[in-house]
Structure 1
Amino acid sequence: MDQLKRSLLEAPIIEKEGYHYFVHPISDGVPKLEPSLLREIVIRIMRKADLDDVDRIVTPAAMGIHISTAVSLMTDIPLTVIRKREYGLEGEVAISQETGYSKNEMYINDVHEGEKVLVLDDVLSTGGTLTAVLSALDGIGAEVIDTVAVIKKAGGENKVADAGYHVKTLINVDVVDGEVVIVDEDGDD
């Protein structure tokens, strides 16, 4: 059994305002993230993502940073982090992000019209974050070559698909009776 699958099956579940949330090193930074798990994920992203002609990786803060940094190091593709802090830099684009358990403003800097980007994130749950990011990148005029989320939480709302965007995933899970259940070991292509 691969490490990603095993780590998800062992993940504790918490409830936040009616939302069942698995606690995992990739999505939460706890328990500790083993280098071998991160390495497995990076290799799987590199095999699944269309990396041809990508100018930069774009990821929302905070839990996409470690994944995207590792992919950037392995591919030599520069990385831009979408932050939850406004900097007021020229060309900064504000976006509203709404997930199953929070609402935030996020800010994209240093992504330009015509750039070809790979969007990476840790978890696709409601699709709120990725929908906002992909819409903002469209508004900027960047060309999204591919979008990959490590884990998809199946069931419930998927705003990203409803908005017409496609996200590849490495593994799809659901939370049933307080436990993580693997829905698709290979995710979505």
Structure 2
Amino acid sequence: MAAQIVDSTDDRISRISSSIRVIPDFPKPGIMFQDITTLLLDPKAFKYTIDLFVERYTGQNISVVAGVEARGFIFGPPIALAIGAKFVPMRKPKKLPGEVISEEYSLEYGTDKMEMHVGAVQAGERALVVDDLIATGGTLSAAIRLLERVGVDVVECACVIELPELKGRNRLGDKPLFVLVSEVDTVVKLDNEI
């Protein structure tokens, strides 16, 4: 399944892409961390990011925006408010009070779980799953399975960034993926670097 990427000739994309910094060797050697905190410091780039998602999903009869912990919590709520949908947090274990359902997924070394409140969604609702980045696709595929287990129709997954070399979209099955930018490759020097 091919990922859909917004039209790169849209000037908003270059602003978004240039506002994301890359930190080498974080959190461990060999990782080129795509840091969206600098995007959040740029109100225009942040607004453009939300606007592009809202333009895509307005009028699509989406009633649920499911945000994947933790950075999906940044982008999901403003999208949900703008399109008139509810926001449902998809959290790591023991973070949600009350009764939850969970879905296990595999990591490079071991497994983790994603949880959602029982009753947060209803069978037949249409959902959008949001996160900041898709790498291996493990968390997004777990979110899809969790929603589908209770009868929700997952319409699409949306991410700001895709790391295409990790082929995460392949784990999404037949679910469409919409991304704004492919991996940012410009390494930005940290303030404390010489």
Q: Report TM bin, short chain.
A: 0.7 to 0.9
Q: Specify the code of the residue in structure 2 equivalent to 1:83.
A: R
Question: Are the counterparts in 2 of residues 23 and 30 from structure 1 also a CA contact under 8 Å?
Answer: no
- The aligned counterpart of 1:184 is none
Question: Are the counterparts in 1 of residues 164 and 183 from structure 2 also a CA contact under 8 Å?
Answer: yes
Kindly, what percent of the aligned residue pairs are identical? 19
**Alignment partner of 2:163 out of 145, 153, 158:** 153
C-alpha separation in 2, matches of 1:15 and 1:170? 23
Structure 1 or 2, whichever has the larger Rg, is: 2
* Correspondence 1:3 to 2:15: yes
- The aligned counterpart of 2:115 is 107
- The aligned counterpart of 2:6 is none
User: Displacement, 1:72?
Assistant: 2.1
TM-score by length of 2: 0.75
RMSD after superposition: 2.7
The worse-fitting range, judged by mean Cα deviation, of 95-104 and 160-169 is: 95-104
User: Displacement, 1:88?
Assistant: 6.3
Question: How many residues are aligned here?
Answer: 172
Question: Are the counterparts in 2 of residues 64 and 122 from structure 1 also a CA contact under 8 Å?
Answer: yes
Q: Which has the higher contact order (CA 8 A, sep 6+)?
A: 2
Alignment of 1:19-168 (within 5 A): 19-25=30-36, 29=37, 33-49=41-57, 51-86=59-94, 87=96, 89-90=98-99, 92-99=100-107, 103-109=111-117, 110-158=120-168, 160-164=169-173, 165-168=175-178
Extract unaligned runs of 5+ from structure 2: 1-10, 189-194
SS at match of 2:165: coil
C-alpha separation in 2, matches of 1:149 and 1:51? 19
TM-score by length of 1: 0.76
